[in-house]
Structure 1
Amino acid sequence: MDRLRIHTDDMEQAAKTLRAGDKILLSGTIYTARDAAHKRLFGMLDKGEPLPFTLKNASIYYAGPTPAPDHLPIGACGPTTSSRMDVFAPRLLDLGLKCMIGKGGRSPEVMEAIRRNQAVYLCAIGGAGALAAKCIRSVKVLAFEDLGCESVKELQIEDFPLFTAIDCCGGSLFEV
């Protein structure tokens, strides 16, 4: 099967049609956030403060990129284990998040929130962070610079290879 080319600007519609097992090449804007960043984002939400990026139709990549070598915009940028963000994901999905990117399975609560919000969970290949970095065209730190690799970053990506792992109809690569 060929890979589907999807731009993040079209994620709201794409999420409704992607099915578990679909191979895609994703281009556009994504945001990195891991555990520590999610905790701070939730603190901002709880205080009614604006987030460093708009959640509506956004795509979050669970990654903590390494520092960039001189010739690249970023160092290795592989996925982290997504289940560590399961406590945060349903609320973010309910607030408009459309796509999560990481590795590994998700909880029943996250799967239900994906279905309820017509969102999608995509998986990147673990252990291929240097290869993934070749798809990243630019990087900008948006928030929590003191967290280093776990700061929230805006990435511009091109043809990032991913698999649809959990779709909005309840299909999952992790259910056998």
Structure 2
Amino acid sequence: MEYRIREPFTKEKLEPLRAGDTVFLTGTIYTARDAAHKRLIEMIENQEPLPFEVKDAVIYYVGPTPEKPGNPIGAAGPTTSYRMDAYAPTLLDLGETAMIGKGQRSQEVKDAAIRNGAVYFAAIGGAGALMAQKVKSAEIVAFEDLGPEAVRRLQVEDFPVTVVLDSAGGDLYQEGRAAYLESRK
């Protein structure tokens, strides 16, 4: 199936999505990689306010390249998601509804996604310039000292992603592999 979803990215809007669906997101998403995630978790542990509202947030695992004149962002391809696996369950438990990255996730992340009605999207690896074309504005909101890994608020339009983990426990990597192996018999 194909879906076009506008913010707010609530659990109710994401619930019908299933592993393998194509989704085009329009609205606000946030960027954060491992160094930023570590700081966010430290802030939570220290009961400090976070730099953005986590409830209904979508976090894109990306460290974009510097923008060229006239563009809000440079190439913005996804980074490998497992680096955020130690931090993701905490953010999901606080209401984060979706993550965007590439690669498989741990069982703990899968369990947290199911428990919280969240999804994990894959973005197209190696297509950072294409992804950047879907970013209409970018603003650093935290951890500027991290450079490309600073937390940014992005406004995106028709940002293309694929559902990898759905809120019902579907896993495209497992299902796709199983379907491939079955087709080889």
Q: Please state which band the TM-score falls in when normalised by the shorter chain.
A: over 0.9
**In the aligned structure 2, how far is the partner of 1:160 from the partner of 1:104?**
18
Pairs within 5 Å for 1:40-119: 40-119=39-118
**In the aligned structure 1, how far is the partner of 2:135 from the partner of 2:147?**
18
Q: Deviations over 1:35-66 (max 9, x none)?
A: 00011111111110000001101000000011
Q: Counterpart in 1 of 2:171?
A: 172
Give the superposition deviation at 1:11. Answer: 3.2
Amino acid at match of 2:161: L
1:25 aligns with 2:20: no
**In the aligned structure 1, how far is the partner of 2:168 from the partner of 2:31?**
26
Q: Counterpart in 2 of 1:161?
A: 160
Q: Counterpart in 2 of 1:128?
A: 127
**In the aligned structure 1, how far is the partner of 2:146 from the partner of 2:56?**
25
- Asked if the contact 2:57–2:96 (Cα under 8 Å) also holds between the matched residues in 1, the reply is yes
**In the aligned structure 1, how far is the partner of 2:118 from the partner of 2:41?**
20
**In the aligned structure 2, how far is the partner of 1:99 from the partner of 1:112?**
14
Structure 1 runs, 4 residues or longer, greater than 6 Å off: none
Q: Deviations over 1:55-91 (max 9, x none)?
A: 1010000000111100211000010000110000111
Secondary structure in 1 matching 2:38:
helix
- Asked if the contact 1:58–1:97 (Cα under 8 Å) also holds between the matched residues in 2, the reply is yes
Note the residue ranges of structure 1 that are not aligned, 5 or more in a row: none
Amino acid at match of 2:39: R
- Asked if the contact 2:138–2:153 (Cα under 8 Å) also holds between the matched residues in 1, the reply is yes
Amino acid at match of 2:50: L
Secondary structure in 2 matching 1:125:
coil
Q: Counterpart in 2 of 1:34?
A: 33
When the two chains are superposed, the root-mean-square deviation of aligned CA atoms in Å is: 0.9
**In the aligned structure 1, how far is the partner of 2:16 from the partner of 2:173?**
19
Structure number with larger C-alpha Rg: 2
Report how many residues are paired: 175
- Asked if the contact 1:82–1:104 (Cα under 8 Å) also holds between the matched residues in 2, the reply is yes
Give the superposition deviation at 1:7. Answer: 1.2
Q: Deviations over 1:113-167 (max 9, x none)?
A: 0000000001100000001000000000000000000000000000011100100
**In the aligned structure 1, how far is the partner of 2:171 from the partner of 2:117?**
14
**In the aligned structure 1, how far is the partner of 2:8 from the partner of 2:161?**
17
TM-score (norm 2): 0.92
Give the superposition deviation at 1:174. Answer: 1.1
Identity %: 57
TM-score (norm 1): 0.97
